[in-house]
Structure 1
Amino acid sequence: MKNFCFLAFLLVITISCSTQKEDASLYDFIPEKASVVMSINNTEALKSSIKNSTFINTLTKSKIYNTLENKLSCLDYIKTDNPILISFVKNNKDSLDFVLSTRFTKNLIQIDSLPNHLSESLKINNLPGKKLTYKSNVVYTVVKDSIAIAASNLDVLKTTLNKKSTPEEINKITKTFNNKKAVSVLIHNKKESIINSVFNSENLNFKNFTDYTAFDADISQDQLILNGITKASDSTKLINIFKNTIPQENQISHIAPNNCDGFLSVTFNAFSTFKNNLNLYNAKKDSTKTNALFNNIVEFGVIYQGNNKSVVLNSLDIIATKEALISEENKVEDYRQIPIYSFSKPDLFENTLYPFVDFSTANLYCIIDQFLIFGNSKEDLENIIANYLNETTLKSRDYYTSTTQHLSTASSILHVLNPNSLKDVLDVNLDTYIDANLKQYKTSAIQFIYDTNFAHLNAVIKKSKAKAESGTVTELLNIKLDAPILNNPQFVTNHRTKQKEIVVQDIKNKLYLISNTGNILWKKQLKGPILGKIEQIDSYKNGRLQLVFATPNRVYLLDRTGKDVTGFPLKFNDKITQPLSVFDYDKNKKYRLFVTQGKNVLLYNGKGKTVKGFKFSKAKDIINTQPQHIRINNKDYIIIKTNKKLHILSRRGQTRIKTNTKFNYSNSPVYSFESGFATVSKDGSLVQINTKGKVSTSKLLGENSKLVTTTKTLVAQKENKLKIKTNTLDLDFGNYTKPKLFYINNKIYVSVTDLQSQKVLLFDSQAKPIANFPVYGKSTIDLDNIDKDNNLEFITKGDSDSILLYEIN
């Protein structure tokens, strides 16, 4: 299928489109019988999100998953920043045909090689097209009005091309799509919908529920969140029974036991309005007066417990509601001082509230605060009473709160599912038995909030995590890339949220930006490996940050979306030999970019223009570390170091401090330490130079010592010896990375990673290990507070193609 789609689109780019119009929309090429339409705004982000989603990966054995995987595999060969629209049509064989369309561009496909195939030119609705046969598959391609189109069925393609217009309802509802999300979906229930039901009741099927549903999907490693709308044109659809009602707070979670299988909650501000609409939906003429039991009800629902169901009524005036039950006070027993009564009208709720209530066996009831609970099982009522009194209802559970934080507190319909109920709903919709462990998805939910002639939709499927105990270290994310990792992952700042995100590069030189929740926001192909650390600057001086870095022959400046800033990348014929250095001397965003090429230093401003007037341009020997900027006592010092000489310069590149003493310097950077400069010689000596040029040396840990400092704290490491200030630790023998030093919230942290045992170690400034370290990791770490809580997080390499995000609680 992959080669199949590849060849189909390959043919598209060979078709002349010089006479095509430019004003067509992708939505003009939605087949009339399409039941599902996917708008893909970021193909790379979508593929990565699906790959990393633990929930989606539990569905891999389902029929519909494999069908969609085959249909979407052609996305691997499409190279475009434009949106892609894929429409699915059920055919007579109950399988899916597709129509795929995107804006035509010259480089839509990267042509590497052509497998064997049979190609035939033909006219498709008087347009030049191609029929491609590959093995037993056939795909038809054409370009119309600058839109490249491929379809698996010729009749579907012809009908789509002949279509006069897209229905206005579809045009309106697709305008609600958020083009910043990787994918948005339209479900058209008037056609052959692939969704059977989002409820665990056969009588609440989706075809009778609504006409159109559109939502944006936010797919991350541990959760799937959908936000959108649903709309129906008339009273024959269930969603419209909420017309002229106002959603109320869903409160059944206050009474639903935490060990139930889920619940359904339905709310309204006036039961009489709701009941009239429901009668109209059921084509039922109700000439009788509504039972007084419902007069003050603003919410009803069903609690699911195994094969049993209990009806719950939530009353605004429990005293008045109790009066409606005076004739029903035949006590069966007291359970924990709460009476359980018999009920003589077990079919009342099905007759009144169908299809939400579809059973007529509720012959018992009890009253707890403002809630009236009716059921046919004394044990179920006792379970509800016990959990309420013990304060172990769903409302009290952290996992329930974690899920419902993504929902509105008030909705017309709220459906909550435990893992068993979620699996039942999936089995029905995926048309197969799902052999998957969903125990970690303790609470999933979908809600509909009726508005004027439509309803808002929110849905959450989220992995539940145990609340971390103080002092523990918890693995939050394990994010897989498309290829093995090349460099160490690091944090960068999101200027919009002020939180942190992750950047990392793989061995194919692809750069990733990943959110702190694990979503891959974009990928960008680079011309070579990144040298050193990625920096951030505000080149426009408007608060928006860009990523700036060097590869062996380029200097890149990327905006928030991964696009090149005007004037970049800078291209160099000679090789760049050190990481890019970025200085902002006066914190006024007048940046200086230092590019090192062997012995030479080139200087640019934040716009990529050459800066003139810097006197130092070339050293006598190869520069062995990137240029550095140090400020001491309000004076700026530019440091350029070779193996034999340390140049301490002014801003203009003139010698500021003469250093006549000769050392064989290591490749260690120069640090600001004790109001002077510190670095390491090749024999492992600590070399210190004050601002007068006086040089002193002292022993560290011997030859090949590694150094990192703050202005007051010195850390050195050699083999298994780690020195933090005056304390020296003997670590287990291993292969250790250079130490990293972090200064966060007025506290020093020192980390090293043993690459041999694959352990990350973390210490404080007194060389005391941080509790619950070491943890698993294969690289140096980056440590910071990346979100809104007070806990620190760090990232490291996991497997060859994955990064791990941990939290220190």
Structure 2
Amino acid sequence: MRVFCFSLLLILVFNCSKTKKNRSKLIDFVPKNTSVILKTSNLESLKSSINNSDFLQKVSKTDSYKNIENTLSILSYLKPKNEILICLSKDSKDSLQYSIITKHNQQLFETDSLPNYIEETLSYKNKTITKSTLNKDSFYSTITDSIFFASSSKDIVTTLFSNAAINIELEKMYNITSDDKTISVILKPDTTFLESFFIEDSLSFKTFTNYITADVSINQDDILFNGITKAIDSSKSLINIFKNTLPQENQTQNITPSNSDGFMSFTFDDYKTLETNLNKFNGKDSISNTTTLFNDIIEVGIIYQGKDQAIVLNSIDVIATKDALLSEKNRIGSYREVPLFGFSLPDMFSKTFAPLVSFNNTNRYCILDNFFVFAGSTEMLQNIIANYQNKTTLNKKAYFQDIKNHLSDASSLMQVVNHTSLKTILNKNIKGGSNYKLNNYNTSALQFIYETNFAHVNGIIKKSKTKALLHSVSEELNIKLDTDILTNPQFVKNHITKQKEIVVQDINNNLYLFSNKGKILWKKQIQGAVLGTIKQIDIYKNGRLQLVFATPNKIYVIDRNGKDVAPFPIKFNDEITQPLALFDYDKNKNYRLLVTQGKHVLMYNVKAQIVNGFTFKSANSTIVSQPKHFRIGSKDYITLKTKNKLYILDRTGRTRVTPKTSSSYSNQPVFLYKNNFTTTTSDGNLITIDSRGNTAVKNLNISEKHYLETSSKTLVVLDENKLTIKSKTTELDYGDYSAPHLFYINDKIYVATTDKQANKIYLYNSQAKLLPNFPVYGNSPIILDNIDGDRNLEFVSKGENNSIILYQIN
């Protein structure tokens, strides 16, 4: 039903004949000679996706890519708040020109801090054009109807002021694009940027279709695109040969050897209709072919192997198709008990199905179940027979099954290629191509599914991964930022998907939220470094989560879209010295935010109001660790610690427990261990205090430089290179270790620490045993969790200075 409704919507859009005169959408300002239109609603996300895409980074070494990147350098200085269109064209000298269109805002292009920036004001027919020169590169811009329009060409800007007719067809294509994908692409007719999608040289974009619109998701290891294509002139575009035919299930992959370079398959429910459409496209007389060979065929496939090819006919009536070949039963041998026959019409398929088929040397064939396979060499047939019998065809491979999930079972035209053919296609379209290292791209696919007067387009370029071994640790993502990372990356919960996402801050105080697929969801500049870890609250009690944290001078509450939640942020004149303490006493979302400033504390509610009922204002000296809240039975306890005093308070800030022995405390946090308040002294003793104030001190024989972490029943101590979990001690290599972090997941205890000198992450179980395949590379403490709901745990760490690594424990 959903597919039907979507198709109906497209039909209504395409058949709407309403004429538009006034420009109101960004698409209305697109220059007439534009060949390619790129649309994104999140420019930062697009930049990040490109930088982290394995495939695009390989392509980025080409001259064409570098030319576009250099030409569009202006984008690094723009800060659009809404969607932005990037239009590419070529002038009469075949030089690349661009235009940028977006809603104007005051922060869009700030020039005050730009070095080597020169600005000049020009006039044209009482209109103002600004010429901007930055690092010797110039562009021209103007603002009209609240739209910012910039171009590398002054002539393009001046044409904006003329009353050019609005391209209704283009607007229809634009209306179909999505706002939630990395980028949308519109290819206009006669684009000069694209030669062909196909291996077949006879198939060019110019003759294949007119408009193509696709929403593109750029991920680290794959690129997915979905959209539509429409050919305006039904007789001059190849895609329309499928008009009045119904797509059938593609089955050529079931006979294509896994060691081939790929295949192309086209399907139809009625050969006569396809034949008529092909004759019309090729300008032939509609004289029926005398052969009956194709009467019961619903699919024709072309298998590619180097310079050789094989043609596959998929028959729905094997007996009838065999009868059509009675005159071609000249047996020339056999292979694995499969008869091989000679074929006297080697150019039949190229004449019948041109330009889809160009191979004209099919001089032998064999029959495998419902497949009739024609080739130009016995070796080609033997390879197909062997793989078919051995069940090593493409459809049996895991990498094909992975991409199949993103495709429709039935399509009018489908092409699947390996890395060799993918290189061939890239080199057709990209000048200055290089020897792309694409060996991991075993399968990429493109398919067209014809509807009434347009076709759906699906495609995928995917990096294949080897199946992970049990207990192996695999690197799932390596996300690169533009600048160095300041804070340790951590997970936060997506309240919509219930999965986890990654939040991190860079040295420019930009806070980022990434999906667990590596896609940047937003980037937001805040004031100061985040103190400690970021927490989440449900400020409106509606199931939607916000991020809450402190910097040295502000408390922030940020929603899922990166927007501040009023009345936050709130500013402080005095410095905040400890991470924000978040309390939810009764688990009813009546949150309390405790701010520490030296020895002073302030309690706030989520309306950013001081909680007057909290009477504790100041400790005897500087508070040395983050305040904490515990519940024992029905009573609440708030702990604050200075160098020589431990405060154990009730909700109102009054003293609830007074330790009966004074101590000189370390800066380690306070924990609740076996229902006792637990921390360490500055000389390395473990100190526990019960709810009556009784104090016990245990000599752990640890140095002053140590770390403590506990759960309710598990005590973890790291002293130099000795890690103790419960009562078991393991000795690590000498190094500079981060504080141990204890995780309790699926009734199992994990303890992690990172050697910051050797860049090694260690993960232990409750018996102080190192997990298999550890240590792994990393530069910060980790956060361990199940981020996507499968059986495997993931953890995140800092990699290089500007990168985040996501690992999976298989």
- Report 1:426-505 matches (<5 A): 426-505=426-505
SS at match of 1:362: coil
Call closer, same or farther: CA 1:795–1:116 in 2, change over 3 Å.
closer
What is the DSSP-based 3-state SS (H/G/I as helix, E as strand, rest coil) of the residue aligned with 1:175?
A: helix
Matched with 2:230 is 231
Q: How many Å separate the matches in 2 of 1:179 and 1:205?
A: 30
Q: 1:736-789: CA deviations, max 9, x gaps?
A: 111111111110001111112211111100111101111111111111111232
Deviation at 1:117, TM superposition (A): 6.5
Match of 1:538 in 2: 538
Give the corresponding residue for 1:636: 636
Question: What does 1:97-246 align with in structure 2 at a 5 Å threshold?
Answer: 97-113=97-113, 115=115, 119-132=119-132, 138-189=138-189, 191-235=190-234, 236-246=236-246
Tell which deviates more after alignment, 124-133 or 533-542: 124-133
Segment drifting more, 99-108 vs 754-763: 99-108
Alignment of 1:318-329 (within 5 A): 318-329=318-329
Query: 2:611 matched to which residue of 1?
Result: 611
- Distance in 2, Cα, partners of 1:424 & 1:655: 76
Letter in 1 for 2:748: K
Specify whether residues 369 and 699 from structure 1 end up closer, same or farther in structure 2 by C-alpha distance, changes over 3 A only. Answer: farther
CA distance in 1, matches of 2:308, 2:202: 16
Matched with 1:652 is: 652
Q: Equivalent residue for 1:761?
A: 762
- Following the alignment from structure 1 to structure 2, what is the Cα–Cα distance between the partners of residues 535 and 119? 45
Taking structure 1 as reference, are residues 256 and 571 closer, same or farther at Cα in structure 2, changes over 3 Å only? same
Matched residue, 2:718: 717
1:539–1:607 CA contact under 8 A, matched in 2: no
Partners of 1:420 and 1:596 in 2: CA distance: 61
Once the two structures are superposed, what CA deviation does each residue of 1:359-384 show, in whole Å capped at 9, x if it has no partner? 22111111112111111111011101
**Does the residue aligned with 1:293 lie in a helix, a strand or coil?**
coil
Match of 2:299 in 1: 299
CA distance in 2: counterparts of 1:368 and 1:50, whole angstroms: 44
Task: List runs of 5+ in structure 2 lacking aligned partners.
Answer: 1-21
Indicate the residue corresponding to 1:373 in structure 2. 373
Counterparts of 2:414 and 2:28 in 1: how far apart (Å)?
35
Letter in 1 for 2:805: L
What amino acid is the match of 1:110? E
Q: More deviation in 555-564 or 609-618?
A: 609-618
Give deviations 1:227-285, integer Å, cap 9, x for gaps: 22111113121112222222222211111111101100112233233332222222222
Deviation at 1:460, TM superposition (A): 1.1
Secondary structure at the residue paired with 1:129? Answer: strand
Instruction: Answer yes or no: is the 8 Å Cα contact 2:34–2:88 preserved in 1.
Output: yes
Question: Which residue number corresponds to residue 705 of structure 1?
Answer: 706
Q: Offset of 1:687 from its aligned partner?
A: 1.1
* Contact 1:131/1:141 (<8 A) preserved: yes
| Stretch of structure 1 that moved more, 279-288 or 504-513 | 279-288
CA distance in 1, matches of 2:576, 2:135: 49
- Summarize deviations over 1:591-621 as a string: whole Å, max 9, x none: 2111111122222223433333112222222
The one-letter code sitting in structure 2 at the alignment partner of 1:234 is: D
Post-superposition shift, 1:289? Answer: 4.5
SS of match in other structure, 2:426:
helix
Q: Secondary structure at the match of 1:322?
A: helix
Compared CA separation, residues 701 and 195, structure 1 to 2 (3 A)? farther
Residues 1:726 and 2:722 are matched in the alignment: no
Moved more, 586-595 or 120-129: 120-129
The equivalent residue for 2:18 is none
Task: Please state if 1:677 is matched with 2:677.
Answer: yes
Q: Contact 1:228–1:458 (CA<8 Å) still a contact in 2? A: yes
Shift of 1:123: 2.1
For residues 394 and 32 of structure 1, what CA distance do their matches in structure 2 show? 44
Cα distance, 1:635–1:317 mapped onto 2, change above 3 Å: farther
Distance 2:123 2:328 in 1: 76
2:272 corresponds in structure 1 to: 272
C-alpha separation in 1, matches of 2:475 and 2:132: 48
> Residues 23 and 264 from structure 1, CA distance in 2 versus in 1: closer, same or farther, beyond 3 angstroms?
closer
Instruction: Write the deviation string for residues 189-240 of structure 1: whole angstroms up to 9, x where unpaired.
Output: 2x44311100011211011111111112211222222222111113121112
Deviation for aligned residue 1:163: 4.1
Contact 1:28 1:165 in 2 (8 A): no
Cα distance in 2 for residues equivalent to 1:639 and 1:435: 62
- Which stretch of structure 1 is more off in the superposition, 238-247 or 764-773? 238-247
Say if 1:677 and 1:119 are closer, same or farther in 2 by CA, change over 3 A.
Answer: closer
Instruction: Determine if contact 2:28/2:167 at 8 Å carries over to the other structure.
Output: no
Counterpart of 1:180 in 2: which secondary structure? coil
Contact kept in structure 2, 1:701 and 1:718, CA below 8 Å = no
Deviation at 1:718, TM superposition (A): 0.5
Q: For residue 622 of structure 1, report the CA deviation from its aligned partner.
A: 1.3
Amino acid at match of 2:510: K
CA distance in 2, matches of 1:493, 1:355: 52
SS of 1:156's equivalent in the other structure is helix
Give the whole-Å Cα distance in 1 for the aligned partners of 2:227 and 2:607. 41
Equivalent position SS for 2:214: strand
Match for residue 595 of structure 1? 595
Q: Secondary structure at the residue paired with 2:66?
A: helix
1:33, CA displacement in angstroms?
1.2
CA distance in 2, matches of 1:686, 1:96: 70
SS of alignment partner, residue 433 of structure 1? coil
Report deviation, 1:676.
Answer: 2.1
2:14 aligns with none
Q: Is the 8 A contact 1:124 1:142 kept in 2?
A: no
Residue of structure 1 equivalent to 2:263: 263
Aligned-pair distance for 1:477?
Answer: 1.7
Query: What amino acid is the match of 1:774?
Result: P
User: Cα offset for 1:410?
Assistant: 2.0
Contact 1:426 1:434 in 2 (8 A): no
Shift of 1:134: 6.8
| Structure 1, 574-583 or 63-72: larger mean CA deviation | 63-72
Give the structure 2 partner of residue 662 of structure 1.
662
Asked whether the equivalents of residues 40 and 85 of structure 1 are also in contact (C-alpha less than 8 Å), the reply is: yes
Q: Contact between 2:81 and 2:105, CA under 8 Å: does it hold in 1?
A: no
The code of the aligned residue for 1:265 comes to S
Q: Secondary structure of the residue that 1:479 maps to in structure 2?
A: strand
Distance in 1 (alpha carbons) for counterparts of 2:542 and 2:282: 58
Alpha-carbon distance in structure 2 between the residues aligned to 1:485 and 1:535: 19
Aligned to 1:781: 782
1:80 Cα deviation from its structure 2 partner = 2.3
Query: Is the Cα contact below 8 Å between 2:142 and 2:157 reproduced in 1?
Result: no
Give the whole-Å Cα distance in 1 for the aligned partners of 2:133 and 2:658. Answer: 75
Q: What's the % identity of the aligned pairs?
A: 51
The alpha carbon displacement at 1:441 in A equals 0.9
Secondary structure, counterpart of 2:293 in structure 1: helix
Return closer, same or farther for 1:640/1:34 CA change in 2, 3 Å cut-off: same
**1:96-120 superposed Cα distances (whole Å, 9 cap, x missing partner):** 1122222122222233445557654
TM-superposed CA distance for 1:466, in Å, is 0.8
Q: Distance in 2 between matches of 1:136 and 1:498?
A: 49
2:622 maps to: 622
Letter of the 1:451 counterpart: E
Please report the RMSD computed on the Cα atoms of aligned residues, expressed in angstroms. Answer: 1.8
What is the distance in 1 between the residues matched to 2:226 and 2:628?
48
Distance 1:116 1:675 in 2: 64
Q: One-letter code of the match for 2:807?
A: Y
Distance in 1 of aligned mates of 2:54 and 2:701:
46
TM-score w.r.t. the length of structure 1 is 0.94
Displacement after TM superposition at 1:137 (Å): 5.2
Q: Which stretches in structure 1 are left out of the alignment for 5+ residues? A: 1-21
For 1:607 and 1:274, locate their aligned partners in 2 and report how far apart those are by CA, in whole Å: 68
| Counterpart residue number, 1:88 | 88
Give the structure 2 partner of residue 509 of structure 1. Answer: 509
Distance in 2 (alpha carbons) for counterparts of 1:765 and 1:114: 55
Q: How far, CA to CA, are the matches of 1:118 and 1:599 in structure 2?
A: 51
TM-score of the pair, normalised by structure 2: 0.94
Are residues 128 and 315 of structure 1, via their aligned partners in 2, closer, same or farther at CA, if it must alter by over 3 Å? same
Q: 1:429 corresponds to which letter in structure 2?
A: N
